[in-house]
Structure 1
Amino acid sequence: MAEDVNVKRAAEYDTATLSDALDRLGIVGQCYKIAGRSDAFQMTGRAFTMICGPASTPPGTVGDYIDDVPAGEVVVIDNGGREDATIWGDILTEIAHRRGIAGTVIDGVSRDVALCRKLGYPVFSRGHWMRTGKDRVQVEEMGRPVNIGGARVAPGDIMRGDADGVIVIPRSHENRILDIAAEIAAAEDSIREAARSGMRLDEARRQHRYHSLQTRKD
């Protein structure tokens, strides 16, 4: 499999830097309230999307798709922000980890967090709780754009997660976003170096346009 250059590039930047790059372009890609079940989790990969809803009678499945997710991709589940029933647990974590899936992002909750922490498998969600989603939640559709924390995620978009949360980088803008992220990161590195060399922080920030790095430019 050929290396995905932009996934590799995205992994070089933290979500804060990528958030500023998104702001520069006026793109909403910050997934509000979606956080790692461990602050140590890092995740970068392309989105494998699905939307879930309340279970029918008889109920549908919540997890039989996992063997179809390509290695290196991120499972992205839109469960409508539901917090009273889980959509991801230890069996999915074990299989996803074994198959080399890059991580899981849920607009909703997960459970069995002890295992994802033990394995180092990145799960990002609104929270965690033990109540099962079986007979309560089911997968409705796969491979379509979804809503994760107020951000639109389309199949193949780059997902980046770290201790600050989750960012989506839309495929149609990814080169520009990553170029801007590189510019912002370089400016902030220059500010740090100038301050370490004895320059006043306000002067270092002025010289490197710190206060306008994220400002939208039309």
Structure 2
Amino acid sequence: MTNWQDPRYKELSTAEISDALDFFGLPGPAHGLGCVTGDHKIMGRAFTVRFAPVDPLNAGTVGDFIDDVEETEIIVLDNEGRTDCTVWGGILSQIAKRKNLRGTVIHGVCRDSHEAMDCGYPIFSRGTFMRTGKDRVQVEEVGGAVSLGDVRVNPGDLLVGDRDGVVVIPFSRVLEVLERAVKTRQAEQDIIQATESGSSLRAAREALGYHTLQRKQAGQA
């Protein structure tokens, strides 16, 4: 079992992981992205695709990259945050579900969201919009670094998504972020238990160092 498959990751929320990323001074929370197809939690490694405005002299396509995605991967589509045209629709959702893929995360929008909801496929995006990306954008690169707003995603990075959004963990830092997030979670559970036993919230937080749990430490980067 590799670090990213540690079952403890499945128990963690994006909030707990975000606090751990803060502790190490790492970016990770993808601002503005939420699940548009229901209440899903996803975890998997990034399969990255970058789009660009269509080239009138050498027009490409929106791509058939889904044929190459593995079950353990989350498709990460960088459409530069555009909300005026889509790069994911119903056909892709149904194929992805049939392939048992982990989910799709889009720096942009999707369409045919009802089809994804009907088949239970998770999509995290900036929203939904019905206009196709065909003849507006094209696949520029598959398997390179992409952006989810101000967060860089490299192929193979770990993504976790839940009702609060999406976080990205650099693959080389997966274990230490996990250990820190577990420590933070335990401290928060201890605070709740302390208050149930009669402690004030102020005293419990002070005793367990709550206000410094996610504070970036000197030398961390």
TM-score (norm 1): 0.95
Deviation string, structure 1 residues 122-149 (Cα, Å, up to 9, x no partner): 1011111111111111111011111112
Query: Aligned-pair distance for 1:60?
Result: 1.5
Corresponding position of 1:43: 42
Count of aligned pairs between the two proteins: 216
In the aligned structure 2, how far is the partner of 1:110 from the partner of 1:169? Answer: 24
**Residue 6 (1) aligns with residue 4 (2):** yes
Corresponding position of 1:55: 54
In the aligned structure 1, how far is the partner of 2:77 from the partner of 2:111? Answer: 14
4+ aligned runs moved over 6 Å, structure 1: none
In the aligned structure 2, how far is the partner of 1:39 from the partner of 1:17? Answer: 21
- Tell me, yes or no, if the aligned pair for 1:34 and 1:149 is still in contact at 8 Å: no
In the aligned structure 2, how far is the partner of 1:120 from the partner of 1:46? Answer: 20
Deviation string, structure 1 residues 11-31 (Cα, Å, up to 9, x no partner): 221000000000000001111
Corresponding position of 1:119: 119
Instruction: Let me know the Cα RMSD of the aligned residues.
Output: 1.3
Give the alignment of 1:42-191 within 5 angstroms: 42-57=41-56, 59-191=59-191
Corresponding position of 1:208: 208
The aligned amino acid for 1:76 is V
Q: 1:191 to 1:73 in 2, by over 3 A?
A: same
**Structure 1 unaligned spans of 5+:** none
The aligned amino acid for 1:143 is G
In the aligned structure 2, how far is the partner of 1:6 from the partner of 1:72? Answer: 11
- Tell me, yes or no, if the aligned pair for 2:36 and 2:125 is still in contact at 8 Å: yes
In the aligned structure 1, how far is the partner of 2:2 from the partner of 2:63? Answer: 27
**Structure 2 unaligned spans of 5+:** none
Query: Aligned-pair distance for 1:216?
Result: 0.4
Deviation string, structure 1 residues 66-116 (Cα, Å, up to 9, x no partner): 111011200001111011000001000000111011000110000111122
In the aligned structure 2, how far is the partner of 1:170 from the partner of 1:11? Answer: 17
TM-score (norm 2): 0.94
- Tell me, yes or no, if the aligned pair for 1:47 and 1:155 is still in contact at 8 Å: yes
Task: Say which is worse superposed, 88-97 or 9-18, in terms of deviation.
Answer: 9-18
Corresponding position of 1:196: 196
Query: Aligned-pair distance for 1:208?
Result: 1.0
